[in-house]
A and B are shown apart, each in its own frame.
Chain A
Amino acid sequence: MKTWARWFDVEVSRQIARLPRSWYGALAWLSLVVRPWTWMAVATAGLGLALLVANYQMSWLSAGVLLLLPLSEIIKMVFKRQRPESIYVEHTRIRSYSFPSGHAYSAALGSGYLIVWLAQLLSGGWLVVAGVGLVVFGLTVAGSRIYLGAHFPTDVIAGLLLGVTVLVGLVATVGVTIGGLA
């Protein structure tokens, strides 16, 4: 399993490294803005909005997202995987461990959370367009971590899967009603 994962990491990283170097600035900026702390701020503001419009399901969901956003940092302490050797890791002086990716986890959880918010306000074609846009956005943030050399592909995939699982678990627990504010 470990050998297969190492081969997968090396091969996928090599393919992603072939993407144009001109994307570096934009993806480094995206990675800087859309980090776990940003999603904490989004969920805090979302909690406020949900309380103001008296949508208690969304209030519980926002509180759940806020409480579970640090989960990836806790898991990192268990696995203690070292980061890949890259100029990005060296320059940005990242101190935390590598597995799973906090950016990928929070992007999956945060983008999914925003989709649930949009499902309260929009319906039909607009919801599909906005939903697809947010999924692409989340995947771009997650993928940028491999491109920049901040994570191995397995870190990012694990982060995305964890984010989606936590979101689905939270939505199922809270029992969000779609179209609550439409």
Chain B
Amino acid sequence: MTSLDETVLQTIHGWSSPELDAWFGFATQLGGFEFVLIFMAFLMIGLIRYRLHKAAGLLALGVGGAALINQILKSTFERTRPDLWEQIVVETSYSFPSGHAMVSLALAASLVALVWRTRWRPAAIAAATIYVVIIGLSRLYLGVHYPSDVLAGWLFSGLWVAAAVYLANRLTK
């Protein structure tokens, strides 16, 4: 697994250029818990203004729960970060699973769930996929995560959001 992880990382590192460094350095911040919290706060204020309290609730439960699960899993697995080249972004926490992958997918999947029964579904799925893939790719390009960290992050986060949607439906019946 590690050799496959490293092969993929080295391949992606082969694309590196100063322009992509700047682009991915900026893009990766859009998937961090700090940015997602601020973005989510504005979304929630908007939803609550239109009396969509349950929608705001699902959003907060999805993102908050994913961030919490990530903290616990990272400290449990204690996987060290890849150290294959000199990194332009410094990370001090553990590697597995990727927090950016989990939080970005939780935000995107919760938003998709909210518009599931509307005509916005295809557009939301497309936008969510692009956002989540860019964030995941940025973690690999910057060399701060192995591909398996990102894939596991997406898996754990997807499972959590599915559970959160189920719980939200049960609680609001």
Contacts and interface: CB of A to CB of B under 8 A. Distances in A.
Contact of A40 (B57, B67, B164, B172): B67
Interface in B60-99: 60-65, 67-68, 70-72, 75, 92
Nearest to A30: B75
B57 A41 contact: no
Interface string B37-70: 1001000000000000110111111111101101
A111 B15 CA distance: 47
A154 interface: no
A52 B61 contact: yes
Given A33-B75, A53-B171, A93-B92, A41 B53 contact: no
Main secondary structure of the interface of A (DSSP, over half): helix
A64 to B, nearest CB: 13
Interface in A40-59: 40-54
A41 B54 contact: no
Contacts of B60: 44-45, 47-48, 51
A114 to B, nearest CB: 12
A29 interface: yes
A126 interface: no
A45 B56 CA distance: 11
Interface string A53-74: 1100000000000000000000
A37 interface: yes
A38 B69 CA distance: 9
A35 to B, nearest CB: 8
A5 interface: no
Contacts of A35: 71
B67 A44 contact: yes
A132 interface: no
B56 A44 contact: no
A54 B52 CA distance: 11
B58 A42 contact: no
Given A32-B75, A33-B71, A33-B75, A45 B64 contact: yes
Given A48-B58, A52-B168, A29 B64 contact: no
A29 B94 CA distance: 12
A133 to B, nearest CB: 18
Contacts of A43: 64
A48 B171 CA distance: 11
A48 B71 contact: no
A48 B33 CA distance: 16
Given A41-B67, A45-B60, A52-B167, 6 more contacts: A48-B56, A48-B62, A48-B164, A52-B57, A52-B168, A52-B171
Which 7 pairs of residues, A with B, have the shortest CB-CB distance?
A44-B64, A48-B61, A51-B57, A48-B60, A45-B64, A41-B67, A52-B57
Interface of A: 29, 32-33, 35, 37-38, 40-54, 92-93
Interface of B: 33, 37, 40, 53-54, 56-65, 67-68, 70-72, 75, 92, 164, 167-168, 171-172
